C-alpha cells in the first residue's frame, strides 16, 4: 500500500504465458501490414496488399508476396493462423525461442522458424 492506494502485485508470467505464435485483431481486414518477429530481435513488416498466395502444408505455412519475397513458417498447430492470414486478421507472427519450444503444449500454436527469402523490397 502506498499513499493509501492498494496496488496489487502483477502475476509473474512464465515463458509459455509470454509467448504467442501470432496476434490477431478481432475484426476482419483492418490490418494493413503483417509483422514478422524473429527470435534474433529483427522485425519485418510486410503489407497485406502485396500478399499473393498463402499455402498451408503442415508443418509449413508459406506466404508468397507479389514483390518476390517468400516467407516460410515452420511449426505446429498453424491452422488458425492460416485462416487468419486469409482474412487479413493476423497482426504479427513470432518465432519461439528455445524455452518457449520446450514448454509449449501439444495443441498450442508454435512457430519454430521463420525464413524470409528476399525479393526486391526487403533486404536480406
**pLDDT tens for each residue of 38-70:** 999 999 999 999 999 999 999 999 999 988 899
Grid coordinates representing 74? 515452420
Q: Is residue 10 part of a domain?
A: no
Q: What percent of the chain has pLDDT over 90?
A: 58
Predicted structure pTM score: 0.78
Count structural domains, the chain: 1
* 101 phi, psi to nearest 5 deg: -60, -45
Within a domain: 108: yes
Give the range of the structural domain holding residue 52, as residue numbers without chain letter.
20-117
**Residue 7 in domain:** no
Residue 49, domain member (yes or no):
yes
In a domain, 12, yes or no: no
> Measuring CA to CA, how many Å separate 45 from each of 11, 31, 39, 75, 80?
31, 11, 15, 20, 20
- pLDDT band of residue 119 (cuts 50, 70, 90) is low
E-only strand ranges, the chain? 22-24, 33-37, 43-47, 51-57, 60-65, 70-76, 90-94, 110-117
Residue 84 in any domain: the answer is yes
pLDDT at site 4 = 57
Residue 86 lies in a domain: yes
Higher pLDDT, 43 or 4: 43
Amino acid at each position: 500500500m502506498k499513499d493509501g492506494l492498494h496496488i496489487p502485485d502483477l502475476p509473474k508470467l512464465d515463458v509459455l504465458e509470454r509467448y504467442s505464435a501470432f496476434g490477431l485483431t478481432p475484426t476482419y481486414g483492418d490490418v494493413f501490414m503483417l509483422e514478422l518477429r524473429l527470435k534474433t530481435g529483427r522485425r519485418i513488416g510486410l503489407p497485406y496488399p502485396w500478399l499473393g498466395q498463402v499455402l498451408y502444408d503442415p508443418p509449413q505455412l508459406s506466404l508468397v508476396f507479389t514483390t518476390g519475397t517468400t516467407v516460410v513458417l515452420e511449426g505446429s498447430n498453424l491452422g488458425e493462423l492460416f485462416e487468419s492470414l486469409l482474412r487479413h486478421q493476423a497482426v504479427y507472427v513470432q518465432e519461439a525461442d528455445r524455452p518457449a519450444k520446450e514448454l509449449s503444449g501439444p495443441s498450442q500454436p508454435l512457430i519454430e522458424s521463420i525464413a524470409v527469402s528476399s525479393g526486391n523490397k526487403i533486404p536480406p
